[in-house]
Amino acid sequence: MEMIRIDEEKCTLCGLCIPDCVRGILEEGERAVRVTSPENCILCGHCKAICPVDAPEFPALDASEFEPAPERGDYPEEDELLSFFRARRSIRQFEERFVEREKLEKIIQAGRFAPTGGNRQGLHYTVVHTPDKLAEIRDMNLDLLYHQAENIERAFERNSQTGEPVPQVYQVRKFYADRWKEMKDLMEKGVDKLFYHAPALVVLHINPAESTSAMVDAGLAAMQMALMAETLKLGTCFCGFFVFAVNESAEFKKTLNIPEKHIVPVSFVAGYPAVKYRSLVSRNPARVNWL
């Protein structure tokens, strides 16, 4: 499929797009800007966004999504935006209420429009939003964490008895071993300390062979998604314990229809908060070196 073309009838040879092309594949032609190697286009759309006459065209993209950009004067004020960032907290109390499909789709859209390395857009999304499937995933997750806790304990026992080195990942996760066992016990009593009875789980996954920045791509998308959830009156909580489990179990990935080669850098639960916080977050001072 053709990646990019320039409408010669529209192009005025103003030249604005040429220095803005990240791949350097645009140059001045006789009648219009010329694309020197269209196969190297990464579909970032910068040339189209900067063009005053909308001459660049991308057959593979939805032309209707190139809507007029808001003026910078219409952006939120800096203090207002910072307050919005600080207002988001991890929610661990949710109403017994489904999240509408339309809202989940808007959250996915927020991730879709996040920047990715080389504009590769390699992220995939899995959304678990039915009670039975969510319960199945939760129980599998808790079982896997319980077994990890047992493996960690055995590794440290062998270390004390024979001096066998403890794998680095176990050294890091030892802090959680007792908690994982407790979480499984609590779930048997109806207390969910993994997903907190949230009605939806969102999983971001990616093939690392198809991305130069898989972890960063997922992190950028996930934060945009969490902030979108806030505007929809939803709350979120990032779920690292899910990530610990799914990346070590091909069976768990299969249950979620996640390809075995994919990694899951981040996941979060979402739902309507059953709690109201009255103050913004406080954090440790930033550790900055000014050079």
Residue in this structure with the two tokens 């859209």, named with its chain if needed:
109
Nearest to 150 by CA among 176, 119, 188: 176
Nearest to 33 by CA among 50, 49, 45, 16: 16
Q: What is the CATH number of domain 83-291?
A: 3.40.109.10
Q: Which CATH number fits domain 5-65: 3.40.50.300, 3.30.2390.10, 3.30.70.20, 3.90.25.10?
A: 3.30.70.20
For the chain, give every domain's residue range.
5-65, 83-291
Question: What's the start-to-end Cα distance of the chain, in Å?
Answer: 47
Q: Can you give the pLDDT at residue 2?
A: 84
Q: Can you give the pLDDT at residue 1?
A: 74
| Concatenated DSSP letters of the chain | ----EE-TTT-----THHHH-TT--EEE-SSSEEES-GGG-----HHHHH-TT--EE-TTS-GGG-PPPPPGGGSPPHHHHHHHHHH--B---B-S-PPPHHHHHHHHHHHHTS--GGG----EEEEE-SHHHHHHHHHHHHHHHHHHHHHHHHHHHHHHHH-PPPPHHHHHHGGGHHHHHHHHHHHTTT--SSSTT-SEEEEEEE-GGG-S-HHHHHHHHHHHHHHHHHHTT-EEEE-HHHHHHHTT-HHHHHHTT--TT-EEEEEEEEE-BS----S----PPP-----
Nearest to 3 by CA among 45, 35, 41: 41
What does R_g of the chain's alpha carbons equal in angstroms?
24
Amino acid at 60: A
What's the token pair of residue 267?
Answer: 């996941």
Spatial separation of the C-alpha atoms in residues 190 and 35, rounded to whole Å: 62
pLDDT by residue for the chain (291 residues), tens only, comes to 789 999 999 999 999 999 999 999 999 999 999 999 999 999 999 999 999 999 999 999 999 999 999 999 999 999 999 999 999 999 999 999 999 999 999 999 999 999 999 999 999 999 999 999 999 999 999 999 999 999 999 999 999 999 999 999 899 999 999 999 999 999 999 999 999 999 999 999 999 999 999 999 999 999 999 999 999 999 999 999 999 999 999 999 999 999 999 999 999 999 999 999 999 999 999 999 999
Nearest to 41 by CA among 8, 68, 1: 1
Exposure pattern of 32-59 as b/e (b: 16+ CB <10 Å)? bbebeeeeebbebbebbeebeeebbebe
